[in-house]
Amino acid sequence: MQPRIDNDSASQQLEIHAARIRSSGILARSTHLHSLFEYLYQCYLDNKTPKELEIAIDGLGREESFDVTQDALVRVYMHKLRRKLDDFYGNEGNTFSHRLQLPKGEYRLVLQARDEVKYTGENARSITNFPKIRMTNRFLGAIIIALLVVNLALLYFWRPPSALPDVRQTILWQPLLADNKPILLVLGDYYIFAESENGSNVNRLVRDFDINSPIDLASYLQLYPEQAEHKFDVGLSYLPTSSAQALTKISPIINTTDKPVQTVMASQLTAEQLRTNNIVYIGHLSGLGLLSDQVFAQSHFTIGDSGFDELVDKESGTRYINTRSIPGAPANTQHHYAYLASFTGPANNRFVIIAGVRDSGLIELANIASNANALETLAENNSAPFFEAVYQANAVGNNIGVAQPVNIKSRTSEN
C-alpha cells in the first residue's frame, strides 16, 4: 500500500484535485462516474477502503440483492473512472506534482507523487522483452480446440446470401459502399493475457475486465513493473461464437471487387484506423472497445446501470434489458436485444454497427442486416439516411423468434 503524505496536506491537495476534476467536465456525461468518484472521494476522507458490494449499493445505487459474482458493473465503472483520471492528468492536470490514482485490483483512491507511478528506473523493461515461454501440451491444445470451434462454426453456418445487389442498395449498406474509402471490418473480441508463476511456463490464461488490449497491459506493467515477470501478451483473444456466425452473413455483402476490406480485432483497433476507414463492427456491445465512445457520443441510447446487458433510451427512459441475463427469469419472459446503427464520424467516414447484447441478439440481427426485405421494412419506418435502432427477439426456452425493431431513431452526421 502506498504511503500517504501527511493528513492535513493530503486533505488540502485532495480537495484541490477533486475540484479541478469536477470543473474539467471530464465526468460530465456520466452520472454513474460522478457518483462513483464522489463516493470514493468520501471513502478517502473517512480512511475507508470499500468492498465491491458496498460500491455497487452506496456508490452506484444498486439494490442490496445485487450479485457481484454475476455482474461486472463495479469493475466496468472502476475501469472507466481509471481511464478518465489518466486522461485528466495527461492533459489539464499535467502540472500537478501529485495525482489521484486507482490502484489495479483495489477499490480506493490514493494520492501519489507522479514519480511513484512512472515507468522508469532499473526495473523498467520493454513489454516485448518477454522471457521464453514454454508452450505446454495443454496450452497448445486449448488454442487448437478454439480454432477448430471457430472454423467448424464458419463451415456449418455459412449460407450463400441471396440477392446481394439488392442488399447492397439498402439504407444500411448503400452509404458505406458508395465512396472510395477502404472498409475495416472490426470483430468484437475479448483480450486474453498469460500469467506465469516462475517467468517461463504459462500457468494460466486470464481475461481481466480492466485489461482489454495489449496497450492496457502495457499501461498496467508501467504502473507495476514487478509484474512484468508474471504477465505476458501472447497475442491471444477469444471471439464469441455468435460473432463468427454473424461474420458469415455480413462478409459477402462488403467484399465487393472495387473496395478493399481488411479485418481487425477490436482489441487491436487504433485511433488512426478509426479516422481513415469506413468501419463495420460485428460483435457484442461489451466488445466495442475503442469504438464505444464513437458509437455513443451522439447516440439517443446509453448503456444502462446493469452494464452491457441493458440499453436505455435517454429521452424516454425506456430500458431494454436482456432478460436471459437475469437469474431466475421465467422462460416465457425472455427478451434478446441488439443494436443496429449507421452514421458518419468526424472524419466523414461511415460506420455500420451490428451489435448484440448477447449471442442470440447478435445472430438474429445479422440475419436482419443481410436480408433486403427486412432492411426495406426498416427504411419504411425511418426516412433519415443515418439512424440507430434497438431490435428485440422474444424467446421461449431455446426457441427464438425473428427480431423486430422496437425503437428507431434518426442520427445526424457527426462531421
Total of domains in the chain: 3
Judge if 406 and 286 occupy the same domain: yes
Judge if 310 and 166 occupy the same domain: yes
Judge if 30 and 92 occupy the same domain: yes
- Which of 318, 85, 277 shows the shortest CA–CA distance to 176? 277
- Which of 192, 217, 189 shows the shortest CA–CA distance to 206? 192
Judge if 258 and 406 occupy the same domain: yes
Judge if 183 and 229 occupy the same domain: no
Amino acid at 131: P
Is 317 a member of any domain? yes
Is 2 a member of any domain? no
Judge if 169 and 274 occupy the same domain: yes
Question: Which of 237, 272, 306 corresponds to the end of one domain?
Answer: 237
Is 281 a member of any domain? yes
Judge if 201 and 301 occupy the same domain: no
Is 170 a member of any domain? yes
pLDDT given for residue 226 in this prediction: 84
Where in the sequence is the domain holding 17, given as residue range(s)?
7-116
Judge if 265 and 294 occupy the same domain: yes
Structure confidence by residue, pLDDT tens digits, 159-199: 444 478 899 999 899 989 988 899 999 999 999 999 988 76
Is 1 a member of any domain? no
Cα angle 155-374-332, degrees, rounded to a multiple of 5: 80
Written as tens digits, the pLDDT of the chain (415 aa) is 344 445 556 677 788 888 888 888 888 666 788 888 899 989 888 888 999 899 989 988 888 888 877 777 788 788 888 888 888 888 888 888 888 888 877 888 888 887 655 433 333 333 333 344 444 545 555 555 555 555 555 544 444 444 788 999 998 999 899 888 999 999 999 999 999 887 667 888 998 877 888 888 888 888 888 888 888 888 888 888 899 899 999 999 998 767 889 999 998 898 899 989 999 999 999 899 889 888 998 899 998 876 778 899 999 999 998 875 545 545 555 788 999 999 998 888 999 999 999 888 999 999 999 999 888 888 777 767 789 999 998 875 556 677 889 999 988 765 5
Is 415 a member of any domain? no
Judge if 91 and 147 occupy the same domain: no
Judge if 206 and 257 occupy the same domain: no
Judge if 136 and 173 occupy the same domain: no
CA 16 to chain centre: 32
Judge if 257 and 398 occupy the same domain: yes
Is 305 a member of any domain? yes
What is the distance between the alpha carbons of residues 352 and 412, in angstroms, rounded to a whole number?
A: 14
Structure confidence by residue, pLDDT tens digits, 218-257: 888 888 888 888 888 888 888 888 998 999 999 999 987 6
Q: Cite the beta strand spans of 60-146 per DSSP E.
A: 98-101, 110-113
pLDDT given for residue 87 in this prediction: 83
